[in-house]
Structure 1
Amino acid sequence: MYSFLEVHNRRNTRSVKWDALNEVFQAKDVLPMWVADMDFKAPEAVNEALINRAKHGIYGYTIIDDDIKSAIVQWLQKRHNWKIESDWLSFSPGVVTSLHMAIQAFTDPGDRVLIQTPVYTPFYKVIESHGREIVKCPLIQKDNTYTIDFAAMEEKLQHVRAFILCSPHNPVGRVWTKEELEKMAALCLKHKVTIISDEIHSDLVFSNFQHIPIASLSKEISAATITCMAPSKTFNLAGLQASYIVTENKEKQTKLEAYFQKQGISGLNTMGNTAIEAAYRHGEEWLNELLRVIESHKNYVTKRLEEETEELKVISAEGTYLLWIDCSRLGLTSEELKAFMINEAKIGLNAGVAYGEEAAQFMRMNIACPRATIEEGVNRIIEAVKKRKS
């Protein structure tokens, strides 16, 4: 019903992924499979809604009305079994912006903030740029997946003000179970730690797994949690700068919104508003097909890399469209590994070391692209590995 096979030319569209290759990789001939946006068109219903809005031709100040809010409320109920009220919603240009505001609202300069490494790279800057201190609780890599060191987490939570949760986790691909979420939440409640939950990948979960918003577990947990979400990863809308925050605790919500006002941030742009409603009202069938496509890509990449090389191991992914590849058997340093992928494989991936020093021999691969691109990328990697051995 939906075509995810077509290869679209994204060059010269001011695309970060395709038009910033020279700045990022110091090379123009790499195949970009890095930054987390898709090489697929957004759902046609979204494109039609944007075109129809543009035809009106007037772009004055805009509001976020009940239609937009109800679309979000209904989406969270249907996809994640999370019943929220529309007045819990606040709006932001992006999840990273929301994280910056939350850190300022709920911690003070000098406070410590916990993260589970390796983790999404902006988490580091979000903490340090505001004069807060990073406290790392590294995930445990075991049996081709990652788990949480709860003993270490409890020890560290005694000395922090906030915990930034990545759920589903980027880059390791974990979709946290109810039991894991309950344990993390219980520890945060015990030590009076605010939970700031980045759930931007919540809709991108593979079959046999289910995303559970941590705030949905109980009213007590909800009162301690700020949940940051968006349709941007789900429907490839990042450039429209539209996200939202769910906060049941009215005192916390008021404090958070005050920090947005201090930065002059209020509301979203006209096209972002239009896209949120259209995506959540009409994008579900498109998303279901996308998930089947991405899961087939995951299985294809995993099978080929593991059958045709001895050096590369794909960590088992439960969600997101980002594969976490263990390249340690290549025996390269982080800089050598990055150079190998750029200069020999001619592929642009995210270097694992950016997510944490413990991931120096990993690479992150974006598989949200047509099968032809996937096949080309895998062929380049395998050929480069084999050539290096010969």
Structure 2
Amino acid sequence: MKYNFDEIIDRTGTDCVKWDAVQQRWGRNDLLPMWVADMDFRTPPFVIEAIRKRLDHEVLGYTFACKEWSESIINWLQERYGWTISREMLAFAPGIVRGIAFAIHCFTEKGDKVMVTPPVYHPFFLVTEKNEREVVYSPLVLRDGQYHIDFDRFEADVQGCKLLILSNPHNPGGRVWTNEELARIADICDESGTLVISDEIHADLTLPPYKHPTYALASEKARMNSLVFMSPSKAFNMPGLASSYVIVENEELRHRFFKYMEASELSEGHLFAYLSVAAAYSNGTEWLDQAVAYIQENIDFTEDYLKEQIPAIQMIRPQASYLIYLDCRELGLSQSELKRLFVEEAHLALNDGTTFGKEGEGFMRLNVACPRSLLHKGLEQLKQAVASAK
């Protein structure tokens, strides 16, 4: 089946954050939203059909995890990543950020240190701070157009940290870490006594020729000292269902975390949480392949457009996901001036680079998971804004 990713869908009036929260966030509603990390494509028809079929039975009573939920995850991980897990290693989580918060509560105390690698997905450090833990920042290094880990600094910074929250693949840079890098992280964290929380929500959006290396498969030390969080929500455009899961191979860690989750019924899903995952993973290969190909074409389109029309703005080419980190430092603007350029002149709503840490000064994050006509429109508006600012 050929899916249509060029279709423009009016999402306004659906209480969606990406479109309907623009007025609240920017104080105006004339901006083209290219910020929040969801897609402007239809959620796949097989997911919608699974929900519709359940709604045909007009009793929305209590539910439990259907066997197709765990079976679909186990099969997906085996086929996609060569990762063999058992049902006992798997637990539901009502969203990955929530799951990370649960892990912080389970494995740390107030005042404990938790390390992140900025620029990085901001809830990592915001959730840590709000739960009264100390955030340790170990910045990545931008080199040759990609982010890299400064392992000498990483090893020094991680000392005394109870947790490392790892973005794998990395957001906002879109970097796919290598097996060698992950194994080195595992060695260092094993030595320092630091538990690794690996957020792999963008794994299914890894762009060819790159392949996603799940953290737990990097080495035995990685396997025995990690919690891996995953979800089909980004790849199949259904984050509103808040359906994620965690995999813990170490039996001792698993018993401790699952017991914590079960004590407050945090591992119980809602009516559509299980069947939507089963539908996505059981039927989604063809749809996802086409979606990834379309996203990759949008990335190519953006890269070519910037080089030809706005050479002062460069991009970090993502190896995974539909998020592009725009390097705007050549414009010579302060961050406030840069934000004004995008909002007041280009009429675009993007994520401010400093949202991801002070290392994001001079950057903006662009979401290209939209019909190409909208992407072209946004880039045209940016081109005109930059030209008029000269």
TM range (shorter): over 0.9
1:170 aligned onto 2:175: no
In terms of mean alpha carbon deviation, does 115-124 or 42-51 score higher? 42-51
In terms of mean alpha carbon deviation, does 262-271 or 155-164 score higher? 262-271
Deviation at 1:24, TM superposition (A): 1.3
**Equivalent position amino acid for 2:188 in 1:** L
Please tell me whether the aligned partners of residues 308 and 382 of structure 1 are also in contact (alpha carbons under 8 angstroms): yes
Deviation at 1:190, TM superposition (A): 1.5
Deviations 1:187-211 (A, max 9, x none): 1112121000000001011111010
Distance in 2 of aligned mates of 1:2 and 1:88: 35
Structure 1 match to 2:134: 133
Please tell me whether the aligned partners of residues 295 and 322 of structure 2 are also in contact (alpha carbons under 8 angstroms): yes
- Match of 1:146, SS? strand
1:320 aligned onto 2:312: no
Structure 2 match to 1:60: 61
**Equivalent position amino acid for 1:188 in 2:** C
Distance in 1 of aligned mates of 2:275 and 2:373: 32
Structure 1 match to 2:221: 220
**Equivalent position amino acid for 2:212 in 1:** H
1:198 aligned onto 2:193: no
Runs of 4+ in 1 over 2 A off after TM superposition: 217-220, 257-266
In terms of mean alpha carbon deviation, does 62-71 or 113-122 score higher? 62-71
**Equivalent position amino acid for 2:38 in 1:** D
1:238 aligned onto 2:239: yes
Structure 2 match to 1:111: 112
- Match of 1:234, SS? coil
Count residues with an aligned counterpart.
389
Please tell me whether the aligned partners of residues 306 and 313 of structure 1 are also in contact (alpha carbons under 8 angstroms): yes
Structure 1 match to 2:83: 82
List aligned pairs for 1:257-272, cutoff 5 A: 257-272=258-273
Deviations 1:55-76 (A, max 9, x none): 1111111111322101000001
Please tell me whether the aligned partners of residues 118 and 138 of structure 1 are also in contact (alpha carbons under 8 angstroms): yes
Deviation at 1:262, TM superposition (A): 4.9
Deviation at 1:339, TM superposition (A): 1.6
Deviations 1:131-158 (A, max 9, x none): 1111111100111111110000111122
Distance in 1 of aligned mates of 2:258 and 2:115: 23
Please tell me whether the aligned partners of residues 120 and 171 of structure 2 are also in contact (alpha carbons under 8 angstroms): yes
Deviation at 1:180, TM superposition (A): 0.9
Please tell me whether the aligned partners of residues 27 and 342 of structure 1 are also in contact (alpha carbons under 8 angstroms): no
1:248 aligned onto 2:249: yes
Taking every aligned residue pair, what percent have the same amino acid on both sides?
A: 39
Structure 1 match to 2:363: 362
TM-score (norm 2): 0.98
TM-score (norm 1): 0.98
Structure 1: tracts of 5 or more residues without a match = none
1:280 aligned onto 2:281: yes
**Equivalent position amino acid for 1:61 in 2:** Y
Distance in 2 of aligned mates of 1:382 and 1:256: 50
- Match of 2:344, SS? helix
1:189 aligned onto 2:193: no
In terms of mean alpha carbon deviation, does 27-36 or 128-137 score higher? 128-137
Deviations 1:149-187 (A, max 9, x none): 000011112221110100000001100011111111111
Deviation at 1:250, TM superposition (A): 2.4
**Equivalent position amino acid for 2:69 in 1:** I
